[in-house]
Amino acid sequence: MNQKMRILLFSLSFLSLWACGKDKDYVVTISTRHGEIKAILFDDAPEHKSNFISLAEDGRFDSTQFHRVIQGFMVQGGDVYGKEGLPALEWPTLPAEIRTNHVHIKGMIAAARQGDGINPQKRSNGSQFFIVHGRTYDALELTTDFPALQKAVFQFMQLESQKQMKVEYSRLFEEGKMDSLTQLLLSKRDEIAKTLTLKLTKDYSPEQIKAYVEQGGTPHLDFEYTVFGQVIQGLEVLDKIAAERTAREVPLEPVLMKVTVERISRKKIEKEFHYVYSPAQ
């Protein structure tokens, strides 16, 4: 067999293996005393995906726990390096893989990290992750940039024409009626933006808005943390973990986990779990 034929056969063999590999994906199973959570990990967060799979295959997540639980927000766990006794200053981190197509809808899996003050690059903790619980939002609330609106409203209320709004704002604040105060700001959002020539909205796709309205989540975390996976079965288990009685956000009864991964065909994943892969995946 000549050299050209060998190269051709090798190339065809490699392409065949690559194609077969792309036909399969990893399904993660997180087993707890409340039941099992199954998830997939995103291809466009490759470092987080490979790191999670490696830790799971080596059994290093096993006997870690969901050590921080806040109902209506998230459940956090997977403290591998704390379990193994590694000093906190030596815990590995991962580079941020923040994508605008992944937001914090209920059931999304994201990497925990230290705050911007000591971590301006938004690097992720090398093992700890959280699963979004959250709450539902209406579209107006969801698409409003509240920090920008809060800052702009004080400038807006200095206008002679807005004396009445200033009085109403002060009254609601003094009475502690924060929900009513929020609604006042939302009702004035577009007028404030037009008057001051400001952008006071956040950009979400129609699909993301629909998901937040119907499923809920924690949108204030969007584009600040790496979202690298999604629960495809077991949201009711997530609800049970989130409902645990806690002291200082730690469950009174430990919620231990065992994490395994299984490589199966993407067609089977789509059929069994009703998960739809995006073209990018």
- For residue 47, the surrounding DSSP H or E stretch is helix 46-57
| pLDDT for position 122 | 98
Whether 148 and 69 map to the same domain: the answer is no
Indicate whether 279 belongs to any domain: no
- At 279, the pLDDT band (50, 70, 90 cuts) reads confident
The domain of 162 spans 144-196
Q: Are residues 192 and 258 located together in one domain of the fold?
A: no
- Residue 215 identity: Q
Instruction: pLDDT band for 2, please (50, 70, 90 cuts).
Output: low
In a domain, 229, yes or no: yes
Mean pLDDT of 86-91: 94
Same domain for 236 and 126, yes or no, is: yes
Residues 6+ apart with CB under 8 A from 213: 136, 137, 138, 139, 142
What's the pLDDT at 22? Answer: 73
Residue 261 placed within a domain: yes
pTM for the full predicted model: 0.87
Q: What is the pLDDT of residue 13?
A: 46
Predicted pLDDT at 19: 47
Residues 70 and 113 occupy one common structural domain: yes
Using 50, 70 and 90 to split pLDDT, how confident is the model at 278? confident
Tens of pLDDT along 36-56? 999 999 999 999 999 999 999
Mean pLDDT value across residues 186-206: 96
Whether 281 is covered by a domain: the verdict is: no
What CATH number did the domain enclosing 75 receive?
2.40.100.10
Q: What residues have CB less than 8 Å from 124, skipping those under 6 apart?
A: 48, 93, 94, 95, 96, 97, 111, 112, 113, 225, 226
- Fill in the amino acid letter for 33: R
Q: Are residues 118 and 60 in the same domain?
A: yes
Q: What is the mean pLDDT of the chain?
A: 93
How many structural domains does the chain have? 2
The pLDDT value given to residue 216 = 97
Q: Are residue 191 and residue 211 in the same domain, yes or no?
A: no
pLDDT tens, 118-129?
A: 999 999 999 999
In a shared domain, residues 177 and 239: no
In a domain, 13, yes or no: no
Is residue 178 domain-resident?
yes
Same domain, 66 and 128: yes
For residue 190, report the phi and psi dihedrals to the nearest 5 degrees.
-70, -35
